[in-house]
Amino acid sequence: MRRTIASPHAPKAIGPYSQAVVTRHADDIQMLHAAGQIPIDPATGDLVAGDVTAQAERVMENIAAVLAHAGMEFTDIVKTTVFLVDLADFAAMNEVYGRRFAGEFPARSTIQVAGLPKGSRIEVEVHAVRHPPTARRSPTARRSAPSKTRVPAAKARVKSTKKPAKKPAKPAAKTRPVPRRKGR
């Protein structure tokens, strides 16, 4: 199942794409794949003025709005990709970024790019995974039904209990004695 996310509290898509798409998988696991967010104020549709710190704050607010509309939080993010016009802005971006995550951090790639839409200095895309509350139980909790797993065909074959016949021993190879030199 697939669901498109269109939060009114995040900038509208400025092209033929969605803010995010949520897919539902086995055991009711949901995965969110979000388009990159740039620092556009959703109320005005304008790029936030200022340095990369101000722009990063707006980007994180936009991501929070998309996540909330999907029923997710920053703790559900498993992977981010940060695009910066100038890697000299990395420390300032990292300060803002780090405040949004508690506990385990998601995997992240940071890439310097030649330019971003509307003259933005930063863009961030995220991927998030949400497990249903029942899947968040302790690992020792008992499941209501056993999970079905596939056994590879090679392991599914029944091994024979009959021992293979022994091969007859090969006769020893004939060797010639090595002649010794006389003298020395």
- Number of structural domains the chain divides into: 1
Within-domain flag for 37: yes
Gyration radius of the chain's alpha carbons:
30
**Phi first, then psi: what are they for 112, rounded to 5°?**
-85, 135
Tell me if the pTM is above 0.85. Answer: no
Within-domain flag for 18: yes
CATH of the domain at 67: 3.30.1330.40
Within-domain flag for 184: no
Within-domain flag for 41: yes
Residue-wise pLDDT tens for the chain (184 aa)? 899 999 999 999 878 999 999 999 998 999 999 999 999 999 999 999 999 999 999 999 999 999 999 999 999 999 999 999 999 999 999 999 999 998 899 999 999 999 999 999 999 999 999 998 875 544 444 344 444 444 444 444 444 455 556 665 665 656 666 666 666 5
CB 65 within 8 A of CB 7: yes
Residue 19 CA to residue 42 CA, distance in Å, equals 12
Within-domain flag for 12: yes
**Residue-level length of the chain:** 184
Q: Which of 68, 72, 112 is nearest to 93 (CA)?
A: 112
Integer angstrom CA distances of residue 166 from 163, 169, 172: 9, 9, 17
Within-domain flag for 14: yes
Structural domain boundaries, residue 39 = 2-133
Within-domain flag for 78: yes
Could you list the beta-strand ranges (E) of the chain.
Answer: 2-5, 20-24, 30-34, 77-84, 107-112, 122-130
Within-domain flag for 75: yes
